[in-house]
């Protein structure tokens, strides 16, 4: 089956920073959360994917078509909302949408109007007079009105206050839940994406640290506590180990492996608690993702 997106050995170099080599695939219908701290290379990835920056190496394909700027048919399949919202500033939202619509055979004015209504976006205002939140909404409507098969969303809620952010996300996810499209959603705020993501990919310092189904993470990661007077060796799959006298608390990236190991050590009072996806993500971003998964 043709992948919705296929990145192979993508490299982009700057002075003091290198993205990649990055390889990542996305199956049709999958929602992939692309998680990383600030300056980890998320936005650079999106710029290279969309052709706004030329990569220094590697290849990118969308639904089997390379992202060649001279053969832009691949852009018909994607909707992109980036970190900068580019419009004709002196035109109304409606006119901006009409301009965009000329380039997409699948563009639906009805859908655009419907989305604008759901987002509570005033289309009669000039782009330059729109608030940050409304500019984001206009970008989202522009990205969705041609019903793309793949959505590339690069921190679309950056700069929004919590109330507007929630409003935008609630409406966006309501719209997205009704469709069978693939989504690559970059953010450093995990709660933004954790509710709809099927898989999570963690990017740190330009390198892909871990890519894993969300449910696998929830199943495997545990906070485990136990007691022992003996000295405890390095435990399997443990990413953090806190000790206070005889009380130990560890965070395990593979609870079964850690528990089996603990069983051989004869420790007492073992208790395990589930972790939220946000807690897991924080541990991974702190460097825990490098632990081998069993």
Q: Which residues bind other proteins (CB under 8 A)?
A: 47, 50-54, 69-73, 75-76, 80, 82, 84, 86-91, 99-100, 102-104
Least distance from other proteins to the Cβ atom of residue 143, Å:
9
Least distance from other proteins to the Cβ atom of residue 50, Å:
6
The neighbour count for residue 238, using CB atoms within 10 Å, is 21
SS3 163: helix
Residue closer to other proteins, measured from CB, 181 or 214: 181
List the alpha helices (DSSP H) in 128-213. Answer: 132-144, 162-177, 191-194
Residue closer to other proteins, measured from CB, 75 or 220: 75
Residue closer to other proteins, measured from CB, 92 or 194: 92
Least distance from other proteins to the Cβ atom of residue 77, Å:
9
Residue closer to other proteins, measured from CB, 62 or 119: 62
Closest listed residue to residue 171, CA positions, set 214, 223, 136: 136
**15, 180 Cβ separation under 8 angstroms:** no
Least distance from other proteins to the Cβ atom of residue 154, Å:
12
**288, 251 Cβ separation under 8 angstroms:** yes
Residue closer to other proteins, measured from CB, 86 or 265: 86
22 contacts: CB under 8 Å, gap ≥ 6: 7, 9, 10, 11, 41, 45, 58, 206, 207, 208
Least distance from other proteins to the Cβ atom of residue 35, Å:
23
**Cα(18)–Cα(52) distance, rounded to whole angstroms?**
17
């Amino acid at each position: 089956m043709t992948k919705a997106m296929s990145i192979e050995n993508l490299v982009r170099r700057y002075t003091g920073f290198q993205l990649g080599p990055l390889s990542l695939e996305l199956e049709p219908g999958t929602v992939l959360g692309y998680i990383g701290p600030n300056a980890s290379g998320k936005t650079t990835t999106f710029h290279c994917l969309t052709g706004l920056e030329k990569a220094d190496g590697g290849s990118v394909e969308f639904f089997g078509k390379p992202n060649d700027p001279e053969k832009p048919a691949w852009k018909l399949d994607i909707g992109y909302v980036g970190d900068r919202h580019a419009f004709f500033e002196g035109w109304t939202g409606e006119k901006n949408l009409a301009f965009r619509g000329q380039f997409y055979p699948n563009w639906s004015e009805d859908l655009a109007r419907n989305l604008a209504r759901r987002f509570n976006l005033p289309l009669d205002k000039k782009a330059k007079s729109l608030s940050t939140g409304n500019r984001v909404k206009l970008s989202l409507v522009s990205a969705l009105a041609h019903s793309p098969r793949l959505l590339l969303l690069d921190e679309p809620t950056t700069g929004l206050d919590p109330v507007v952010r929630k409003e935008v996300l609630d409406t966006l996810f309501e719209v997205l839940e009704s469709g069978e499209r693939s989504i690559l959603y970059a953010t450093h705020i995990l709660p933004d994406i954790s509710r709809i993501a099927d898989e999570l990919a963690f990017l740190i310092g330009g390198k892909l640290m871990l890519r894993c189904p969300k449910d696998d993470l929830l199943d495997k990661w545990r906070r485990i506590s136990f007691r022992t007077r003996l000295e405890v060796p390095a435990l399997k799959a443990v990413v953090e180990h806190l000790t206070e006298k005889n009380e130990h608390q560890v965070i395990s990236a593979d609870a079964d492996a850690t528990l089996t190991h603990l069983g051989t050590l004869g420790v007492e009072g073992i208790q395990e608690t589930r972790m939220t996806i946000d807690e897991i993500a924080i541990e991974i971003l702190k460097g825990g993702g490098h632990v081998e998964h069993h």
